[in-house]
Structure 1
Amino acid sequence: MKYTFPENFWWGSASSALQTEGESLREGKGQTTWDHWFATQPWRFHNGVGPDDTSTFYRNWREDIALLKTLNHNSYRTSISWSRLIPDGTGEVNPQAVEFYNQVIDELIEQGITPFITLFHFDMPMVMQEKGGWENREVIDAYSRYAQICFDLFGDRVLHWFTFNEPIVPVEGGYLYDFHYPNVVDFKRAATVALHTILAHASAVKAYRAGGYAGEIGIVLNLTPSYPRSQNPADVKAAEYADLFFNRSFLDPVLRGDYPAKLVAVLNQYDQLPVCQPGDKELIQEGVIDLLGVNYYQPRRVKCRDSAINKDAPFMPEWLFDYYDMPGRKMNPYRGWEIYEPGIYDILTNLRVNYGNPRCFISENGMGVENEQRFINDGQINDQYRIDFVAGHLQWLHKGITEGSRCLGYHMWTFIDNWSWCNAYKNRYGFIQLDLATQQRTIKRSGEWFAAVSANNGFDKE
């Protein structure tokens, strides 16, 4: 069967400043939370590899963009580093950063690749974190100013902006589950961070609209469909709770301009509501987006709790549901994640049926595999597993589009194997292999396959 996608479909990949640029504390750049955390607790990072050891995009951007062209990308998402552009978070703009980002944006456009730019991809400037990070409303104001500066500097050429990438991840990692700095475990503080992130998002959207720029602005959310173990009402309710906490807590404010009443009720019931101020509600209403980026990696399978809660333990979302290992599920054994291609269709269907069918695109989808050198044939990684993964998801994406979903593109995570937070280089995701010792780039078989898909605006599959 031939799968053909709509005209002008966005084919590309995604990355971030902190995971690719390198030059972590050079070229005028200020320290991020990741630089600080690595300096103080390097053992938390796989093989002791920190944020300075990335795929050197700062030095090799021209050659890397040429490789994007080789892969027939017509679009590419990366981020601007707040701490590179404004090293102390609130003060002077770093001219070296302006020159770098101007060169990258101009070269992308020169090569026929549309730049998609994210403003915040987990990389809080350490000076802002020392003020409390997203717990402090001063940081919202500082972020709003940073966003305005980005729009003014680059908004004449960048027509697709995203305020945040996966904003729930710093909430989960930094304030609930201890996998991001500042390693706090406190739900009410997490809820405050989530609310303030939405307020920061809305302030940037408001500034963008007020500036009359030519493009559009949105946000990138990692949406993880919640599937109940069974149709027993207790399991169904558990899945609804998981959906409220991990999907709708950001999806509803950015698409509907308000929080789900059920989420507010449950947080109130457990005394976990963050402090709101006059004007917050109105600001959130102004943050409704033009374009939604959807990151999809795996489903969430849940069931009702069958054990009592330890009332002395900190409140967690898992007080209201439990995780469920579905027998027979297809797994990526390297990452430990389930592969469930229909999830991408279910997300699009939910958006179409329940959220007014917003303009959206798949902003990340990917498969991380450990020790890919095992699969080298004749000097090239034969990652047929990644080709199968992408093709399977594209088939379900195509079905969603044929049923009316307004999905405008597909971006893979990622372009070149890059540094990935505490996992560093444990799992590789790229279309292009990175040799860490030499920084040599070698296109994998999946990269060649994706280049053909993009060139043909589709693919054949039996």
Structure 2
Amino acid sequence: MKEYKFPENFWWGAATSGPQSEGFHNKAHKNIMDYWYETSKEEFFGGVGPFTASNFYETYKEDIRLLKEVGMNSFRTSIQWTRLIKDLYTGEIDKEGKKFYDNVIDEFLKAGIEPVINLYHFDMPIELQQQYDGWCSREVVDLFVKYAQIAFDLFGDRVKYWAVFNEPMVVPEAGYMYGFHYPNRIGEGEKAVQIMYHQVLTTAKTIEVFRNSKVGKNGGEICTILNLTPAYPATESKDDKEASEFVDDFFNNVFVETAINGEFPKKLVEVLEKDGVLWKSEVGDAQLIRKNTVDFLGVNYYHPKRVKARTDKLPQELQKQWMPDIYFEEYDWSEKRINPYRGWEIYPKAMYDIAISMRDKYPNTPWFISENGMGVEGEEQYIDKDGKINDDYRIDFYKEHLQWLHKAMEEGSNCFGYHAWTGYDCWSWNNAYKNRYGFIAVDLETQKRTIKKSGYWYKQVSENNGF
């Protein structure tokens, strides 16, 4: 048996988000997910919406105590724009929202857990979605930056580590290209490209105000959290390799390279220009993006992409506008392992590949795994006579991924932490509670919390700084 030891002060923690955990309690505004459920309840698994979620708004003290009990020294959650800001245009603060986040942050610090606070987790205020089509508009960029400035001013005395976005690619990908998140558009690739640009611009503008804020001047650090899905070509042919390179540029590098180097991938820009779909920008944008880069990077990893050069005709539903799919199609790798509940490939080696890529391309950028996890449906089948969920499959999943991460770190990758998804079972958009991810089970009827076997295992990992 090999022992895997991690560096001193390594982050052992987990992540969740405000909209997935807090519930709707006392919010000033609905976000797009609240509205989606309100208008299309039938699209949500089991008809379960966000209005209670994991009830963190009322149970945060117990939840934070349990997070500490399973060994966490750090934890990421998000502030909800729709809870903190009463007037989205003037920036008037909602007093109840401020009080709640004050209490949550203080409780984390009291427990000895480093809070990592994210500003946006798929929770666009519905008013801004309806008026401006969300991130399609620069007006929304500026309103978001105003909100971010307020958050830094209110909580920067206690929160050192911040994130601008969680998984910005999901917004254009799920909302405008493939239609599995609100506003459920399909085939709007040109709009998706503009959204991607506005998110990059938002990141840079937010970092600029962070640098000028008190927290930024006093040692605070800011990142963005990216979901990286490495693209593996079907063959070593020139066409398949070019397809995988394009997919990496479009879905991954567009955010990684701008976040770290302040530059868009050159080949991607050339392709978008050639196709006449390059984003609209303004004078001064390029300099602002180049100047305002992250202090560290968060990487969410769940599954890879398997791609090849396109040989089949583009599906009819994707022919509405330009789409990146004209340059690739996905293929079914015969050797894959699949999580049958989520339908995602389990490929731990990709964590090593990401880590080595970070080492080779961005050696001076500290980074951490900000999400990694396994969702399973029907976990009640694994409850023993004592009422504990024996989720050995989750422990095995984490061990495999951590082994590959450790190997990359031994080879010089600058990773400083690992956050699992998630601490306690949480609501997950229209999947609701179909798949459970937590170290801590949540009974939706009673809101009772129960630590799973994986939670006790994670406590040992944290205490031993390895396994």
In which range does the TM-score fall when normalised by the shorter chain? Answer: over 0.9
Provide the C-alpha distance between the structure 1 equivalents of 2:89 and 2:119, rounded to a whole number of angstroms. 15
1:179 to partner: Cα distance:
1.2
Alignment of 1:112-123 (within 5 A): 112-123=112-123
SS of structure 1 residue aligned to 2:212: helix
SS of structure 2 residue aligned to 1:131: helix
- The residue aligned with 1:21 is 22
1:316 to partner: Cα distance:
1.7
- The residue aligned with 1:251 is 256
Contact 1:155 1:213 in 2 (8 A): no
- The residue aligned with 1:348 is 355
- The residue aligned with 2:95 is 95
1:366 maps onto 2:354 in alignment? no
SS of structure 2 residue aligned to 1:116: strand
* Residues 246-268 of structure 1: per-residue CA shift (max 9 Å, x gap): 10111111011010111111112
1:28 to partner: Cα distance:
4.1
1:310 to partner: Cα distance:
6.7
Provide the C-alpha distance between the structure 1 equivalents of 2:195 and 2:425, rounded to a whole number of angstroms. 30
Contact 1:30 1:83 in 2 (8 A): yes
Q: Which runs of 5+ in 2 are unaligned?
A: none
Contact 2:363 2:414 in 1 (8 A): no
Provide the C-alpha distance between the structure 2 equivalents of 1:310 and 1:85, rounded to a whole number of angstroms. 42
Provide the C-alpha distance between the structure 2 equivalents of 1:262 and 1:213, rounded to a whole number of angstroms. 38
* Residues 418-451 of structure 1: per-residue CA shift (max 9 Å, x gap): 1001100001100011111001111110011001
- The residue aligned with 2:409 is 401
- The residue aligned with 1:307 is 312
1:431 maps onto 2:431 in alignment? no
Tell me the number of residue pairs that the alignment of Structure 1 and Structure 2 aligns.
457
**Percent of aligned pairs sharing the same letter:** 50
SS of structure 1 residue aligned to 2:222: strand
Provide the C-alpha distance between the structure 2 equivalents of 1:268 and 1:286, rounded to a whole number of angstroms. 24
Alignment of 1:217-236 (within 5 A): 217-236=222-241
Provide the C-alpha distance between the structure 2 equivalents of 1:230 and 1:310, rounded to a whole number of angstroms. 23
Contact 1:87 1:125 in 2 (8 A): no
1:370 to partner: Cα distance:
0.6
Provide the C-alpha distance between the structure 2 equivalents of 1:418 and 1:309, rounded to a whole number of angstroms. 36
Contact 2:27 2:82 in 1 (8 A): no
* Residues 247-295 of structure 1: per-residue CA shift (max 9 Å, x gap): 0111111011010111111112222111111111011112310010000
1:334 maps onto 2:341 in alignment? yes
Provide the C-alpha distance between the structure 1 equivalents of 2:64 and 2:39, rounded to a whole number of angstroms. 34
Contact 1:131 1:139 in 2 (8 A): no
Q: Which runs of 5+ in 1 are unaligned?
A: none
SS of structure 1 residue aligned to 2:12: strand
* Residues 194-214 of structure 1: per-residue CA shift (max 9 Å, x gap): 111111111110011112243
Provide the C-alpha distance between the structure 2 equivalents of 1:287 and 1:180, rounded to a whole number of angstroms. 30
Provide the C-alpha distance between the structure 2 equivalents of 1:310 and 1:230, rounded to a whole number of angstroms. 23
- The residue aligned with 1:108 is 108
1:169 is aligned with what amino acid? V
SS of structure 1 residue aligned to 2:357: helix
Provide the C-alpha distance between the structure 1 equivalents of 2:168 and 2:420, rounded to a whole number of angstroms. 19
Over the aligned positions, Cα root-mean-square deviation in angstroms equals 1.2
* Residues 292-328 of structure 1: per-residue CA shift (max 9 Å, x gap): 0000000111111222447955322111011111112
SS of structure 2 residue aligned to 1:380: coil
Contact 2:14 2:421 in 1 (8 A): yes
Provide the C-alpha distance between the structure 2 equivalents of 1:58 and 1:19, rounded to a whole number of angstroms. 11
Between 1:207-216 and 1:187-196, the stretch displaced more is 207-216
Provide the C-alpha distance between the structure 1 equivalents of 2:272 and 2:73, rounded to a whole number of angstroms. 43
Provide the C-alpha distance between the structure 1 equivalents of 2:86 and 2:203, rounded to a whole number of angstroms. 21
What TM-score do the two structures reach when normalised by structure 1?
0.97
1:154 maps onto 2:155 in alignment? yes
1:131 to partner: Cα distance:
2.5
1:61 to partner: Cα distance:
0.5
Provide the C-alpha distance between the structure 2 equivalents of 1:9 and 1:298, rounded to a whole number of angstroms. 24
2:55 is aligned with what amino acid? T
Contact 2:83 2:97 in 1 (8 A): yes
- The residue aligned with 1:448 is 456
Provide the C-alpha distance between the structure 2 equivalents of 1:251 and 1:455, rounded to a whole number of angstroms. 32
Provide the C-alpha distance between the structure 2 equivalents of 1:76 and 1:260, rounded to a whole number of angstroms. 32
1:107 to partner: Cα distance:
1.0
Contact 1:357 1:405 in 2 (8 A): no
Contact 2:83 2:94 in 1 (8 A): yes
Provide the C-alpha distance between the structure 2 equivalents of 1:166 and 1:213, rounded to a whole number of angstroms. 27
Contact 2:87 2:93 in 1 (8 A): no
